[in-house]
Structure 1
Amino acid sequence: MSDASLSPFVKWAGGKRQLLNEIKERMPEGFYRYYEPFVGGGAVVFDILPENAVINDINRALINAYRQICKEPKAFLNIINSLDSKMWEDGKAYYYSLRERYNDKLMKKEYDTELAALFVFINKHCFNGLYRVNGRGLFNVPYNNSRRKSVDKESIYAVSEYLENVTILEGDFQNACVTARKGDFIFIDSPYAPLNPTSFESYTKEGFDIESHRRLAELFDELTQRGCKCMLTNHNTDLIQELYGNKGYRMDVVRVKRMINSDASNRVGEEIIICNY
């Protein structure tokens, strides 16, 4: 399998595909292990393909999809291809029936191959690939009217093969970095800091509040003291400037498009890439 066939199997809010060149230009020339405590859709790890990688996310359904594709790619493909084949008579009704099935399995904590297939299916057929849950932790994003195929067979097998040699963790970002040591590289793509006080989206039931951003900044400082090479991306906001400014870190501001904002006039913004090396 060629590396060209390996690509993210989900679309993820805040994904870094459009920033890949900027990120790769700033990566350290050499490092030991690669850590990504907020892996999301995996745009970066699936592009650079580090040999010794640790990936993590707090979203249990997302990590279940990584693990199932890693361990059971054939079973995953059989289920999702079956889901695709039954959709097209009434796409909207079918999508909502599968969303209900997905939420039912979440309530029952059935983190299996079927849940992984449902997770990827609804990701490809919901509005902007957004993962949003309500207060009960149930997925509630509407249908996007797409009838496209959910996955590419060759890409799923390539992802599975690569993930066999990757450590896949599920949980808090701080725990994911416990084993990071001098010379390791940590790429941190955390949930965005708020552009305004009401702009947070709940991607997991736990959410990621301002205190979480403060705790992350403390971890960035701690990893720096350990001798780790760290890169962090986020909105260029006053909060991020407050948390990381005046510490000697390299802070580069880049222009980006906001793909999820419903107001076209607000789809251009600034991101900041912060490096401690």
Structure 2
Amino acid sequence: MANKTILKWAGSKVRIMNQLRPHLPKTKRLVEPFAGSCAVMMNTDYEQYLVADVNHDLINLYHIAQALPAPFIPNAEYYFQTFNQGKSYYDIRSKFNTTKKHMTSEGIAVNFLYLNRHCYNGLCRYSEKTGFNVPFGNYKKPYFPKEEIIAFAVKSQDAYIACLEWQDTLSLVDYSDGIYCDPPYMGDNFTRYSSSDFTDSDNEALAFALKDINDMQGNPITVSNSLEAKELYADLGFTIHEIEAPRTISAKGNRKPAKEIIAVLNGGAQ
């Protein structure tokens, strides 16, 4: 059974780890430029991790969970126990968006965790004008992930966690590293998970950059993406594996499993 994560997360890999794990690089350190829910880190046993993401709120939460200051869990749990109505959610979301620059790092983490667990389907979406803009999820009793926070604090002691653009993360890849990328999928409507969109052009730039790293340094690479990216990665020489993954977000209520790809480039000594 897979380990759960601190955050609810659209596209989380928790439920497909048995399909994904055999295709991950066999290296001492795993580099992830798109941290997401950290499902891969929490469900693998690499000696070290470099985990990064461009989303400041996400990485700030992970830094707080990694350090685990004494007040964090009780403060976060208080929010969950006290503010479980739509009005409370929208008040907290508004304050988060308008006064975040005046909050402590721990305060930002408490608010972000609350919003994630109370918002619709664990979406992480931002508007350029208003900030975090996911609507209230209207859950009867949102789950407070105390055990997952503690497990992350323990596991992440072997991880370097950074807020970086994917290009900057890839610049830190050593010859002996393996790379796993789980970017916003090609053709996905939910691409603004930080202050800027991740477009199909960005997906193409990522694929070419990964191919270049493999050619120059020999790093083994694994990528998750939608079927729309199959031709892109196949043309670059990746081996393509098609899998069925649970669909957590769907228009018109269709939540049947959706096909997606795992694209793999094996490593080679240079």
Normalising by structure 2, report the TM-score.
0.90
**RMSD of aligned alpha carbons:** 2.1
Distance in 1 (alpha carbons) for counterparts of 2:198 and 2:90: 27
Query: Is the CA contact 1:232–1:274 (under 8 Å) kept in the aligned structure 2?
Result: yes
Q: Who is 2:13 aligned against?
A: 16
Which amino acid in structure 2 is aligned with residue 227 of structure 1? G
What are the within-5 Å matches in structure 2 for residues 52-131 of structure 1? 52-88=48-84, 91-106=85-100, 108=101, 110=103, 112-131=105-124
Cα distance between partner residues in 1 of 2:145 and 2:180: 27
1:217 paired residue number: 207
Deviation at 1:114, TM superposition (A): 0.9
Q: Work out whether 1:241 is the aligned partner of 2:234.
A: no
| AA of the residue aligned to 2:109 | A
Match of 2:22 in 1: 25
Which residue in 1 is equivalent to 2:126? Answer: 133
Residue 264 of structure 2: which of 258, 270, 275 is its match? 275
- Unaligned stretches of 5+ in structure 2? none
- Residue pair 2:249, 2:255 contacting (<8 A) in 1 also: no
Deviations 1:128-156 (A, max 9, x none): 01111112251111111124254233331
Change (3 A) 1:54 1:137: farther
Deviation at residue 96 of structure 1 after TM alignment = 1.2
Give 1:6 shift.
5.7
Shift of 1:82: 1.6
Answer yes or no: is the 8 Å Cα contact 1:72–1:113 preserved in 2: no
CA distance in 2 between counterparts of 1:200 and 1:98 reads: 22
In 2: Cα distance, 1:66 partner to 1:115 partner: 11
Displacement of 1:109 in angstroms is 6.5
Counterpart-to-counterpart distance in 1, 2:39 and 2:29: 18
Deviation (angstroms), 1:200: 4.5
* 8 Å Cα contact 1:236/1:270 also seen in 2: yes
User: Is 2:197 the counterpart of 1:207?
Assistant: yes
- Whole-Å separation in 2 of the counterparts to 1:158 and 1:249: 34
- Which shifted more, 72-81 or 209-218? 72-81
Q: Does 2:36 align with 1:40?
A: yes
Cα deviation, residue 205, structure 1: 1.9
Distance 1:62 1:111 in 2: 15
Aligned amino acid, residue 234 of structure 1 = N
In 1, distance between residues paired with 2:245 and 2:39? 16
Q: Is the 8 A contact 1:234 1:271 kept in 2?
A: yes
TM-score (norm 1): 0.88
- Secondary structure at the aligned position of 1:212 is classed as helix
Q: CA deviation at 1:112?
A: 0.7
Please say if residues 118 and 142 of structure 2, whose CA atoms lie closer than 8 Å, have aligned partners that are also in contact. Answer: no
Alignment-mate amino acid for residue 273 of structure 1: I
Distance 1:268 1:7 in 2: 20
The answer to whether the aligner puts 1:231 opposite 2:228 as a matched pair is no
Cα pair distance change 1:110/1:235, threshold 3 Å:
same
2:157 and 2:130 map into 1 onto residues whose CA distance is 30
Q: Secondary structure at the match of 2:70?
A: helix
Evaluate the alpha carbon distance shift between residue 109 and residue 164 of structure 1 in structure 2; reply closer, same or farther with a 3 A threshold. Answer: farther
Identity between Structure 1 and Structure 2 (%): 26
The one-letter amino acid of 1:7's match is: K
State the secondary structure of the residue aligned to 1:41.
coil
CA distance in 2, matches of 1:200, 1:144: 17
**8 Å CA contact retained: 2:61, 2:109:** yes
Once structures 1 and 2 are overlaid, which stretch shifts more, 260-269 or 181-190? 260-269
C-alpha spacing 1:12/1:255, structure 2 compared with 1 (3 Å): same
Unaligned 5+ runs, structure 1: none
Q: Which of 142, 148, 154 lines up with 1:155 in the alignment?
A: 148
Query: Structure 1: how far apart are the matches of 2:112 and 2:247?
Result: 24
